[in-house]
């Protein structure tokens, strides 16, 4: 006899439920409306099949876990879990977590950087139908007319115009827990400087994920790339004219329909010379 | 593996969208909550005495699975009888 979820079951039933676990896990990683990086969950990754010019889609943990031999020397899952989140260091000092969700493209192949070996040898693609970013607006003080110190944050969904799915450059790494032997494939996506649209949306940092054209995605996976070319593709900035975007409800992360457009009357349109702001869906339907 | 069109259940102020998973030889549902609670998969299983019970897939959320599995069962039997 075995126990599943604390209930005594037969061995056959136990195996059946374990099989269901596998089916469901493989299904779920492809079927998520919103993936929050800070959950460090699995996401769908495209990687080359070893020795072939062919691809496979596999689940990987989003949040790169570096080789245990390099800084920050994470050898066990416990160290990974602690190190990823804000925590107290051995001296009792409060330190930020090292989440390794995003690899800054400008430094990706720099010698001594944690992502270098993966960028040169293990490149992959994140599959996305859109990403989420917050635009910061500083309201004016009614009395002084000066901007307030605390920004109001408006969420946007950003996509690749005319495409249901697109690819973001990524790098991956296999890692094993020294205590349990658990082996995990983890990945980080690369980021580049924001274009006219994405920079205005992510106006606190002016960054965007490296969204690739089909040709660049193929080259990223299968090209025999020099360091310089890795750097160039990782830094590729999709032209702003190819970006689609709209605003979302502030509670979209807990919504049944997180992709649903939400119009904010007080929000000024993006300041893009020569470009018309996309009208919200509700307004379009009126005309 | 695929999902059928969802139905909605209400519990207190939380709305749940319930998707039946189309997997041969299994009865399983994916529940998506309107609150920040993470989605849950529940499945019908048999214990060592051959009695049916609801379990979470994977393990770890047994109490929720039992309560929500029974709620799904009530909904489906009412729908069947209406």
Question: For chains A and B, what is the number of CB pairs under 8 angstroms?
Answer: 62
- Asked if A27 has any chain B CB less than 8 Å from its own CB, the reply is yes
pLDDT of residue A276: 56
Residue among A10, A17, A254 whose CB faces B55 most closely: A17
pLDDT of residue A133: 93
Residue A169 contacts residue A42 (beta carbons within 8 Å)? no
- Round to whole Å and give the CA distance between A116 and A111: 7
Q: Which residue in this structure is represented by tokens 């929050």?
A: A36
What ipTM was reported for this prediction?
A: 0.87
CA nearest to A255, candidates A165, A158, A155, A161? A155
Query: Do A153 and A169 belong to one domain?
Result: yes
Query: Do A201 and A141 belong to one domain?
Result: yes
- Round to whole Å and give the CA distance between A269 and A262: 14
Query: Do A63 and A13 belong to one domain?
Result: no
3-class state of residue B56 by DSSP: strand
pLDDT of residue A282: 35
DSSP type of residue B59: S
Residue A171 contacts residue A118 (beta carbons within 8 Å)? yes
Query: Do A151 and A226 belong to one domain?
Result: yes
Angle at A188 between CA A234 and CA A239, to 5 degrees: 35
Provide CB contacts within 8 A for A194, sequence distance 6+. A200, A201, A202, A205, A206, A207, A208, A237
Query: Do A112 and A15 belong to one domain?
Result: no
> What value does the CA radius of gyration of chain A take, rounded to a whole number of Å?
22
- Asked if A257 has any chain B CB less than 8 Å from its own CB, the reply is no
CA nearest to A191, candidates A88, A99, A67, A255? A99
Query: Do A96 and A17 belong to one domain?
Result: no
CA distance A41 to chain B (A): 12
pLDDT of residue B53: 96
Query: Do A7 and A136 belong to one domain?
Result: no
SS (H, E, C) A86-116: CEECCCCCEECCCCCCEEEHHHCCCCCCCCH
Report the Cα A57 to chain-centroid distance in Å. Answer: 16
Top residue of A5, A40, A41 to mutate, by most chain B CBs within 10 Å, is A5
Domain count, chain A: 2
Q: The domain containing residue A17 runs over which residues?
A: 1-29
Query: Do A203 and A159 belong to one domain?
Result: yes
Provide CB contacts within 8 A for A264, sequence distance 6+. A154, A247
How many CB atoms are located within 10 Å of the residue A106 CB?
A: 14
pLDDT digits (tens, 9 = 90+) for B4-21: 678 999 988 889 999 888
Query: In this structure, what CATH number is given to the domain that contains residue A112?
Result: 3.90.1680.10
Query: Do A53 and A94 belong to one domain?
Result: yes
Residue A217 contacts residue A199 (beta carbons within 8 Å)? no
CA distance A258 to chain B (A): 10
Residues of chain A with pLDDT under 50: 279-287
Domain boundaries, chain B: 2-81
Q: Do the Cβ atoms of B46 and A9 come within 8 Å?
A: yes
Q: Collect contacts of A264-268 with beta carbons under 8 A, ≥24 apart.
A: A264/A154, A267/A135, A267/A137, A267/A154, A268/A137
pLDDT of residue A8: 92
- Asked if A15 has any chain B CB less than 8 Å from its own CB, the reply is no
pLDDT-above-70 percentage for chain B: 95
SS (H, E, C) chain A: CEEECCEEECHHHHHHHHHHHHHHHHHHCCCCCCCCHHHCCEEEEEEECCCCCCEEEEEEEECCCCCCCCCCCCCCHHHHHHHHCCEECCCCCEECCCCCCEEEHHHCCCCCCCCHHHHHHCEEEEEECCEEEEEEECCECCCCCCECCCCEEEEEEEEECCCCCEEEEEEEEEEECCCCCCEEEEEEEEEEECCHHHHHHCCCCCEEECEECHHHHHHHHHCCCCHHHHHHHHCCCCCHHHEEEEEECCCHHHCCCCCCECCCCCCCCCCCCCCCCCCCHHHHCCC
Write out chain A residues lying below 8 Å of B59, CB-based. 4-5
- Asked if A259 has any chain B CB less than 8 Å from its own CB, the reply is no
Instruction: Decide which of B1 and A242 is more confident.
Output: A242
As a whole number, mean pLDDT of residues B24-42 equals 87
- Asked if B35 has any chain A CB less than 8 Å from its own CB, the reply is yes
Cross-strand bridge partners of residue B8: B17
pLDDT of residue A121: 96
């Amino acid at each position: 006899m075995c126990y599943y979820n604390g209930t005594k079951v037969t061995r056959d039933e136990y195996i059946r439920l374990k099989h269901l676990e596998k089916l469901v896990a493989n299904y779920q990683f492809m079927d998520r409306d919103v993936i929050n990086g800070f959950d460090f969950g699995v996401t769908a990754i495209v990687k080359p099949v070893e020795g072939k010019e062919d691809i496979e889609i596999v689940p990987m943990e989003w949040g790169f876990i570096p080789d245990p031999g390099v800084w920050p020397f994470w050898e066990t899952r416990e160290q990974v879990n602690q190190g990823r989140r804000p925590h107290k260091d051995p001296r009792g000092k409060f330190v930020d977590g090292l989440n390794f969700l995003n690899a800054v493209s400008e430094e990706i192949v720099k010698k001594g950087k944690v992502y270098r070996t993966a960028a040169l040898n293990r490149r992959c693609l994140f599959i996305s139908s859109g990403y989420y970013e917050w635009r910061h607006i500083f309201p004016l003080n009614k009395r002084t007319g000066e901007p307030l110190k605390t920004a109001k944050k408006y969420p946007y969904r950003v996509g690749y115009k005319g495409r249901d799915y697109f690819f973001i450059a990524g790098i991956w790494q296999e890692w094993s827990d020294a205590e349990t032997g658990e082996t995990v494939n983890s990945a980080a996506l690369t980021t580049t400087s924001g274009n006219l649209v994405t920079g205005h949306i992510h106006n606190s940092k002016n960054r965007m994920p490296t969204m690739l054209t089909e040709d660049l995605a193929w080259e990223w996976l299968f090209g025999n790339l020099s360091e310089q070319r890795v750097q160039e593709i990782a830094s590729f900035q999709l032209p702003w004219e190819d970006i689609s975007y709209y605003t979302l409800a502030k509670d979209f992360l807990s919504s049944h329909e997180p992709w649903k457009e939400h119009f904010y009357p007080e929000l000024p349109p993006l300041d893009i010379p020569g470009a018309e702001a996309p009208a919200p869906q509700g307004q379009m339907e009126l005309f | 593996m695929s999902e059928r069109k969802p139905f909605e259940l209400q519990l207190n102020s939380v709305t749940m969208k319930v998707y039946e998973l189309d997997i041969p030889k299994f009865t399983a549902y994916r529940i998506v909550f309107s609150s920040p609670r993470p989605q849950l998969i529940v499945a019908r299983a048999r214990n060592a005495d051959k009695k049916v019970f609801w379990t979470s897939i994977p393990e770890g959320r047994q109490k929720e699975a039992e309560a929500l599995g029974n709620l799904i069962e009530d909904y489906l039997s009412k729908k069947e009888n209406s």
